[in-house]
Copies of this chain bind each other. A is one copy, B any other.
Amino acid sequence: MGKIEKEQYRSELAKRQQMIKDASLPVVVVLEGWGASGKGSVIGSIIKYMDPRFFKVYNMDAKSEEEMRRPFLYRHAARLPKIGQFAIFDGGWMDEATKSYLGKEISAKQYEGRVESIRCFERQLRDNGYLVIKFFLDIDKKTQKERLDALRNNKNTSWRVSKEDLWQNKNYDKFKKVYREYIKATDTPACPWHEIKSTDKDDVERFIASTIISSIDSAINEKWVPEIPENRFEMNESQPLSTITLEDKVLTDEEYRAKLKKLQKELGKLHNKLYEKKIPLIIAYEGWDAAGKGGNIKRIASALDPRGYEVFPIASPTPDEKQRHFLWRFYNRLPKTGHIAIFDRTWYGRVMVERLEGYCSENDWQRAYNEMNEFERDLTDWGAIVIKFWVQIDNATQLERFTLRQNTPEKQWKITDEDWRNREKWDLYEGAINEMIAKTNTKAAPWFILESNDKKYARIKALETVIAEIKKRL
């Protein structure tokens, strides 16, 4: 490729930066391929004229300790770009999944699960407005060997050859088979593969630059319409909120105090066990305003070792969070292995407040049931225990508590005009909640109802549920 052609491609790419900004399109470029196939140098070349303030390049080689204690896709999801920006991955989830499998870190069955997770992840990205452009840089065994030898024989470059590269070359055929199968399994309309023989540097650059340019142009011009997938998850039965009885779910003060003490002690011990066995626990709280979530969480938290858990109050997303996949901010709040994360409101906001207030499109919230089921499956596949609580009260009890808050000076901060406005939409919310529970009550991450007209009853039931779910796992 001539110098002029190169200049042209580079400035066309730079123009695309402004175009994706104007179109609010986030773009993820993933370069996968063999060791020594020239991924790094082609990246260095294509970004030459791009504005470095609006793209980031990530080398995904080595996992940090922190990342090793998080689910497989976490470190990729955490690096998703904002709308209008580029993220370029030098090696991505394909590299990671295939290496873990061929290096025998994970079983064939786990590998299969990861490939399925990746398919879902990529579809979710496309459906949520990302353009994902995947490249595979191919070289044959002999070429790889020659390049690795050349790098090793030069003292300035020998450090760039890793043990893994040599191991890959030695097992070239095994890798090739797995690569072929992987590419076949993940070549989807949402995120198709672009493959190139990486023998001539200029060819590769031309191919990659022109593919990025044309992919961006079509993404801007042709609207992607996501499908609403069928449910593919094994579900538990669920019952409409209106059929839940609340009056009979009460405890006396004495019963409450005696049980609380005993259960908190037990939970404290189990927390140590989770820590030892490195099992992460995620507790998600949703419920009516004034249902008693805060006090309920407190009773769980105060039983735990404070160094091993975190409580996340979830409010409306920040500007940075709004500009990314709606699950991004939850990926960034996952616990480490052996730790506990408690969410005071959760990702289910998508199908309640965001749905009812029109903060997302109908297609968005319709899709979200499946997206959240997939998200939770990734968590349980990782080894996490996921417990979802719906804290239930009836309409009259809410009114009583709202009124009490309004009339008690030190509780007034807890009640806002918005709470009253939401209350007017009780029936709409009830419909949405029934649908939410029915569609996300998976066997792997089921909902538990906490009857909370009597807060004491709900607290004890929460403790008992958490204890039972932990014990099931140990």
Residues on A close to B: CB < 8 A? 18, 40, 43-44, 47-49, 51-54, 56-59, 64-66, 88, 90, 294, 297-298, 301-302, 305-307, 309-313, 318-320, 342, 344, 410, 413
Which of the listed residues A47, A307, A312 has the most CB atoms from chain B within 10 Å of its own CB? Answer: A307
Quick check: A51 and B298 within 8 Å, CB to CB?
yes
Which residues of B are found within 8 Å of A40, using beta-carbon distances? 305, 307
Q: Is B64 a contact partner of A311 (Cβ separation < 8 A)? A: no
Q: Is the CB of B43 within 8 A of A306?
A: yes
A331, chain B: closest CB distance, angstroms: 17
Q: Is B310 a contact partner of A56 (Cβ separation < 8 A)?
A: yes
Contact partners of A306 in chain B: CB under 8 A: 43-44, 47, 57, 88
Chain B: CB-nearest residue to A60: B307
Is B64 a contact partner of A297 (Cβ separation < 8 A)? Answer: no
A207 to chain B, nearest CB (A): 19
CA distance A48 to B298 in the complex (A): 9
Q: Which single residue of chain B is at the shortest CB-CB distance from A159?
A: B276
- Please tell me if the beta carbons of A311 and B66 are within 8 angstroms of each other in the complex: no
Q: Are B58 and A344 in contact (CB under 8 A)?
A: no
Given contacts A65-B65, A307-B40, A318-B320, A313 and B53 within 8 Å (CB-CB): yes
Rounded to whole angstroms, the CA-CA distance of A90 and B318 in the bound complex is 30
CB A384 to nearest CB in B, in angstroms, measures 20
Known: A52-B297, A52-B309; 19 extra A-B contacts, CB below 8 A, are: A18-B410, A18-B413, A40-B307, A48-B302, A51-B294, A52-B302, A53-B294, A53-B297, A53-B312, A53-B313, A53-B344, A54-B313, A57-B306, A64-B65, A64-B66, A65-B65, A65-B66, A66-B66, A88-B306
In the complex the two chains form, is A311's CB within 8 Å of B52's CB?
Answer: yes
Docked Cα-Cα span, A306 to B42, in Å, equals 11
Contacts of A342 in B (CB 8 A): 52
By a CB distance below 8 angstroms, the chain B residues around A47 are 302, 306
A305 to B160, CA, bound (A): 14
Query: In the complex, which residues of chain B have a beta carbon less than 8 angstroms from the beta carbon of A301?
Result: 52
Cβ-defined contact, B53 with A311, below 8 A: yes
Q: A43-B306, A307-B40 are in contact. Are A52 and B298 (CB under 8 A)?
A: yes
CB distance from A30 to the nearest CB of B (A): 14
8 contacts between A and B (CB under 8 A): A18-B410, A18-B413, A49-B298, A52-B298, A53-B311, A53-B344, A65-B66, A318-B319
Contacts of A59 in B (CB 8 A): 307
**Closest chain B residue, CB of each to CB of A275:** B159
Of A47, A51, A344, most B-chain CB atoms within 10 Å: A51
CB distance from A36 to the nearest CB of B (A): 16
